Amino acid sequence: MKLDSKSRKVGLYEALKTRILTLEMRPGEDLDETALSEEFSLSRTPLREVFRQLAGEGYVDLRENRGARVSEMSHTTLRDFFLTAPMIYGAVLRLAAKNARPDQIEELKAAQAHFRDVLRAGTGAERALANNRFHDITGDMADNVYLTPSFQRLLIDHARISVTFYRPTDNSMAQNVSEAADQHDQIIDAIEAGNENRAAELAEDHWALSRDQIEVFVMPHGLDIPLGDLPRKTPA
Amino acid sequence: MKLDSKSRKVGLYEALKTRILTLEMRPGEDLDETALSEEFSLSRTPLREVFRQLAGEGYVDLRENRGARVSEMSHTTLRDFFLTAPMIYGAVLRLAAKNARPDQIEELKAAQAHFRDVLRAGTGAERALANNRFHDITGDMADNVYLTPSFQRLLIDHARISVTFYRPTDNSMAQNVSEAADQHDQIIDAIEAGNENRAAELAEDHWALSRDQIEVFVMPHGLDIPLGDLPRKTPA
DNA sequence: AAAATTTTATTTGTATACAAATTGTATTTT
DNA sequence: AAAATACAATTTGTATACAAATAAAATTTT
């Protein structure tokens, strides 16, 4: 079936997003204008507009006279991530518990059901996307224009970090992941009950678990070495 | 003197930003592609790219087949603003105190000097821009990719709110503004000393003052009426 | 005359053509 | 042969032309 240019444009937009989130397009990789314009049957003009938009949203970096690259994951990324995520994520879940509409809660439950599905049968990338979708909905629920931009940025790298550190063979990691799914259920309960404090508390736990998951990867053999200056608490 | 297309493009970008920050272009106003392309001697192609970028940064909203509009300031904006600003701004100043480089501190001092200048002689718009620049530098100092996007969003509306509620005739407001300048000096001291806790504390004070300034405007005759559900404390 | 429809004008979106800049390769110079 | 320069090819940026969609105006219908 043939799509109109408008659909092809959003198709390109969505495709690039998922490719970047799943690391199909690696950080630092540059986007080939001619190749993509052929693949999506679009001229370079709308293509470049999409690039700019993605740049604004943090998916790609734009360099003068050098085209677009998938945004980098530098060595400071992980540090900044775990420094910032607890705060932003806590605020988002708190507001989600406060403001969530019934239809959004249904949407969240559906996303969680799908997350559990791919947890059993899916690939690491599918898992990361499903998780991304879950948290994305909580961002909608929070409904705060000033929080959303940072939250979206965090979600991008959250997905990419997840894919990076996903090892389905590792037993402790499998356990970790199923615990994350349980936390999702608890988060849904807290939001549905409108329990802001509980939601904020769960945010803290959820990110602590994420951090542990990274630690498992960094030290897979159970060596009990403290992990440098990664923060244990949110800055006030 | 004649500028090359690259300069004209960044010229357009900068001009739109300041016009939006100073309310020269009002929220909701739509951007005329042909008019702007004439004014800046650019074709519509690079013009529209700039629009997309500004959309990503929160200055404008893009609507399908209806062009770009200056981003709105809805009735929920103020509420969301004072709900979110203390948290983000506290985190930014805390990190600024932690990470600021000497050259950035010099830059901040220069910005503050300029702020005091326009406080005496400048217009409301100039004052808002100078203040914007001051805080923008603290954002650079914080140097956290996940915090910056939300912080930048806050700065946009911070400037616009300031311009909106600026009444140079009002005496209590003049006092308020000079107090804000004093706080800037204290912020510089805290950053220079690397005192994170002090910086975070000052952020709290600074935004409390901003809130008071709005209250002065909303109730200019000193009526002591509580301002509805505007939050008094940061969410944990 | 008011409402509905058609026609026209304006605005927005895309494609192609061309200009500028960057990168890669070949040639020259030492 | 290594470095430097010059040339060619590719890639990126801009302008113009055209297509689609929306808004405005004029006509027709009731």
Residue A236 lies in a domain: no
Question: Which of B45, B90, B236 is nearest residue A45 as measured by Cβ atoms?
Answer: B45
Identify whether residues B9 and B112 lie together within a single domain: no
pLDDT digits (tens, 9 = 90+) for B38-72: 999 999 999 999 999 999 999 999 999 999 999 99
Q: How far is CA A172 from the centre of its chain?
A: 22
pLDDT digits (tens, 9 = 90+) for A87-136: 999 999 999 999 999 999 999 999 999 999 999 888 999 999 999 999 99
| Closest chain A C-alpha to B187 CA, distance in angstroms | 17
Residue B231 lies in a domain: no
Give the CATH number for residue B82: 1.20.120.530
Give the CATH number for residue A41: 1.10.10.10
Identify whether residues B48 and B81 lie together within a single domain: no
> Considering B33, B55, B70, which residue would you say is the last residue of a domain?
B70
Task: Give B233's contacts in chain A (Cβ within 8 Å).
Answer: none
Q: Given an 8 Å threshold on Cβ–Cβ distance, is A87 in contact with B84?
A: no
pLDDT digits (tens, 9 = 90+) for B152-175: 999 999 999 988 887 777 777 788
Q: Which domain holds residue B61?
A: 5-70
Chain B nearest-CA residue for A82: B146
B interface with A, Cβ–Cβ below 8 Å: 6, 45, 48-49, 52-53, 55-58, 64, 77, 80-81, 83-85, 87-88, 90-91, 94-95, 144-154, 157, 196-197, 200, 235-236
Residues with CB under 7 A from strand C: A 5-6, 9, 41-46, 49, 64-66; B 4, 30, 32-34, 44-45, 48, 64-67
Identify whether residues A194 and A137 lie together within a single domain: yes
Residue B181 lies in a domain: yes
Chain A nearest-CA residue for B76: A144
Query: Average pLDDT for residues B187-211, to the nearest whole number?
Result: 95
- Mutant choice from A145, A148, A154, A155 vs B, greatest count of B C-beta within 10 A: A145
Please, which pLDDT band fits residue B232 given cuts at 50, 70 and 90? very low
Q: Given an 8 Å threshold on Cβ–Cβ distance, is A55 in contact with B56?
A: yes
Chain A nearest-CA residue for B157: A146
Identify whether residues A90 and A120 lie together within a single domain: yes
Identify whether residues A171 and A60 lie together within a single domain: no
Residue A60 lies in a domain: yes
Identify whether residues A12 and A107 lie together within a single domain: no
Q: Residue B141 pLDDT more than 60?
A: yes
Please, which pLDDT band fits residue A221 given cuts at 50, 70 and 90? low
Identify whether residues B99 and B167 lie together within a single domain: yes
Identify whether residues A65 and A83 lie together within a single domain: no
Identify whether residues B84 and B201 lie together within a single domain: yes
Identify whether residues A94 and A151 lie together within a single domain: yes
Total count of domains within chain A: 2
Identify whether residues A140 and A174 lie together within a single domain: yes
Residue A181 lies in a domain: yes
Q: What whole-number percentage of chain B has pLDDT above 70?
A: 90
Residue B226 lies in a domain: no
Identify whether residues B81 and B62 lie together within a single domain: no
What pTM value is reported for the model?
0.90
Q: What 3 state SS string does chain B have?
A: CCCCHHHHHHHHHHHHHHHHHCCCCCCCCECCHHHHHHHCCCCHHHHHHHHHHHHHHCCEEEECCCEEEECCCCHHHHHHHHHHHHHHHHHHHHHHHHHCCHHHHHHHHHHHHHHHHHHHHCCHHHHHHHHHHHHHHHHHHHCCCCCHHHHHHHHHHHHHHHHHCCCCCCHHHHHHHHHHHHHHHHHHHHHHHCCHHHHHHHHHHHHHHHHHHHHHHHCCCCCCCCCCCCCCCCCC
Number of Cβ within a 10 Å radius of residue B70: 22
